[in-house]
């Protein structure tokens, strides 16, 4: 198939999922055309089957806000014609789904079906805002196929948006050959030269991730045992986290690595992952940690319980309860047998339920059905 993929090309989870999906589909023989304002960050290698089309935007003094939605729709339609695309797959409804709707309308009577994958805040925060709700609902209803990355997100979408069409659940995935436990030499010593325990946080450092709670939890753990905290990513709350680490005299133990492309080399150094978010529709970082054999302490919110089982691959705790999160972290870190057991369980669960080998065919199947239905539409005209 020849597939156009649109996503936010930055470090957010939806962009990561979209990019990894494109890479996996290309490896399975599909031609992938990313259409966005920048090259997705996780594309680190050139491939004959992966193409990138930059959305060009003319600016004009009249525009306070350049109309990206329109420029994207134009790029989608152009790429569809020039590259004979079979379909578009957009990740994160706002505004990508609206652009795909416009591109499809522009090309009529040629059919250009589009699939929308919902990731989280496009439904729970941004999409639920009155200013975006009607158009988000419209573009979901108009999509030729819709998927959500967890049952939780599917249920919220159907309920809050009063959607009357099927929304399929296709969970997020991880390539278990790329993300795996450390084999022999890892970068552990570089970060924890005295054999300290390593805790990891990986996110876009947005307020919803509760980055200050990560530092609070670590401070409580650090009072009890020698430990280091690797902070991977960047975003609005990095400064406050850096300030807190300094205030708590933890600067030498909290290592801010910023945005990283090869997170698999870092995750496998960890003993524990911290994800104390206020809301999380899936928790991709926890899954990437699981595949790397790293148990997690997560908030019991949204779709996280579909990924991590309390007491098996880590612990689920009420959001903002940093005391219990720290106590649970210490329970794992001070008990080597428990830690090893949870690490094995985490890897097993990632392999069994979320491995890209098993999940990518679900997307291929959705594409086939969407293409089939769109051909039926043409013949019935």
- The answer to whether 281 contacts ligand GMT (rule: CB under 6 A) is yes
- The answer to whether 14 contacts ligand GMT (rule: CB under 6 A) is yes
State the nearest-atom distance from the C-beta of 44 to ligand GMT, in Å: 19
Q: How far is CA 266 from its chain centroid?
A: 17
State the nearest-atom distance from the C-beta of 190 to ligand GMT, in Å: 28
Question: Which position among 13, 113, 127, 319 is part of the footprint of ligand GMT (CB under 6 A)?
Answer: 13
Q: How are strands ordered across the β-sheet holding 114-118?
A: 50-54, 31-36, 2-6, 87-91, 114-118, 145-148, 168-169
- The answer to whether 208 contacts ligand GMT (rule: CB under 6 A) is yes
- The answer to whether 156 contacts ligand GMT (rule: CB under 6 A) is no
Task: Identify which of residues 9 and 120 has a Cβ nearer to ligand GMT in the complex.
Answer: 120
- Cα–Cα distance between 324 and 321 in angstroms, integer? 6
- Cα–Cα distance between 43 and 22 in angstroms, integer? 9
Task: Identify which of residues 149 and 345 has a Cβ nearer to ligand GMT in the complex.
Answer: 149
Q: Which of 160, 146, 151 is nearest to 304 (CA)?
A: 151
- The answer to whether 115 contacts ligand GMT (rule: CB under 6 A) is no
Residue ranges with strand state E in the chain: 2-6, 31-36, 50-54, 87-91, 114-118, 145-148, 168-169, 197-202, 227-232, 254-258, 272-275, 296-299, 314-317
- Cα–Cα distance between 267 and 16 in angstroms, integer? 16
State the nearest-atom distance from the C-beta of 378 to ligand GMT, in Å: 32
State the nearest-atom distance from the C-beta of 176 to ligand GMT, in Å: 17
State the nearest-atom distance from the C-beta of 311 to ligand GMT, in Å: 21
- The answer to whether 30 contacts ligand GMT (rule: CB under 6 A) is no
Instruction: Quote the DSSP letter at residue 49.
Output: T
- The answer to whether 6 contacts ligand GMT (rule: CB under 6 A) is no
Range list of H helices, 1-92 = 13-27, 68-82
By CB under 6 A, which span of 53-61, 72-80, 200-208, 212-220 interacts with ligand GMT?
A: 200-208
State the nearest-atom distance from the C-beta of 96 to ligand GMT, in Å: 11
Stretch 301-330 residues interacting with ligand GMT (CB under 6 A): none
Task: Identify which of residues 277 and 339 has a Cβ nearer to ligand GMT in the complex.
Answer: 277
- The answer to whether 356 contacts ligand GMT (rule: CB under 6 A) is no
Structure tokens at 131: 């200013």
Specify the 3-state DSSP secondary structure of 206. Answer: coil
Instruction: Quote the DSSP letter at residue 50.
Output: E
Task: Identify which of residues 81 and 178 has a Cβ nearer to ligand GMT in the complex.
Answer: 178
Task: Give per-residue burial for 87-103: e unless 16+ CB within 10 Å, then b.
Answer: bbbbbbbbbbbbbbbbb
Q: Is 120 left (phi over 0), alpha (psi -120 to 50) or beta?
A: left
Question: Which position among 22, 113, 120, 235 is part of the footprint of ligand GMT (CB under 6 A)?
Answer: 120
Question: Which position among 136, 172, 343, 356 is part of the footprint of ligand GMT (CB under 6 A)?
Answer: 172
CA distances (Å), 120 to each of 14, 279, 316, 346, 376, in order?
9, 9, 19, 23, 32
Question: Which position among 119, 154, 197, 228 is part of the footprint of ligand GMT (CB under 6 A)?
Answer: 119
Q: Which residues here bind ligand GMT, judged by CB under 6 A?
A: 12-14, 17, 92, 119-121, 149, 172, 204, 206, 208, 279-284
């Amino acid at each position: 198939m020849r597939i156009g993929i649109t996503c936010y090309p930055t470090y957010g989870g939806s962009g990561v999922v979209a990019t990894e999906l494109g890479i996996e589909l290309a490896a399975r023989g599909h031609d992938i055309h990313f259409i966005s304002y920048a090259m997705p960050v996780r594309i680190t290698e050139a491939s004959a089957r992966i193409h990138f089309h930059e959305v060009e935007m003319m600016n004009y003094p009249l525009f306070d806000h350049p109309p990206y939605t329109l420029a994207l729709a134009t790029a989608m339609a152009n790429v569809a014609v020039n590259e004979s695309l079979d379909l578009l797959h957009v990740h994160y409804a706002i505004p990508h789904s609206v652009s795909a709707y416009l591109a499809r309308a522009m090309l009529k009577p040629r059919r250009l079906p589009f699939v929308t994958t919902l990731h989280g805040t496009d439904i729970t925060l941004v999409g639920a805002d009155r200013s975006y709700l009607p158009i988000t609902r419209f573009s979901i209803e108009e999509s030729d196929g819709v998927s959500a990355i967890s049952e939780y997100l599917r249920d919220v979408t159907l309920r809050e948006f009063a959607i009357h069409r099927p929304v399929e659940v296709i969970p997020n995935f991880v390539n278990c050959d790329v993300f795996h436990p450390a084999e022999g030499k890892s970068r552990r010593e570089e970060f924890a030269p005295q054999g300290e325990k390593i805790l990891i946080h990986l996110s876009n450092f947005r307020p919803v991730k509760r980055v200050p709670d990560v530092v609070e939890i670590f401070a409580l753990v650090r009072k009890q045992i020698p430990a280091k905290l690797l902070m991977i990513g960047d975003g609005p709350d990095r400064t406050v986290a850096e300030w807190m680490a300094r205030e708590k005299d933890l600067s030498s133990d909290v290592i801010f690595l910023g945005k990283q492309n090869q997170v698999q080399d870092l995750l496998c150094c960890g003993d524990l992952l911290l994800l104390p978010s206020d809301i999380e529709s899936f928790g991709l970082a926890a899954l990437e940690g699981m595949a790397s054999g790293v148990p997690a302490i997560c908030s019991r919110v949204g779709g996280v319980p579909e990924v991590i089982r309390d007491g098996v691959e880590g612990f689920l705790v009420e959001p903002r309860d940093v005391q219990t999160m720290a106590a649970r972290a210490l329970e794992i870190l001070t008990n080597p047998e428990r830690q090893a057991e949870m690490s094995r369980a985490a890897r097993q669960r990632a392999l069994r339920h979320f491995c890209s080998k098993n999940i990518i065919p679900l997307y291929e199947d959705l594409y086939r059905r969407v293409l089939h239905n769109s051909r039926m539409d043409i013949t019935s005209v």
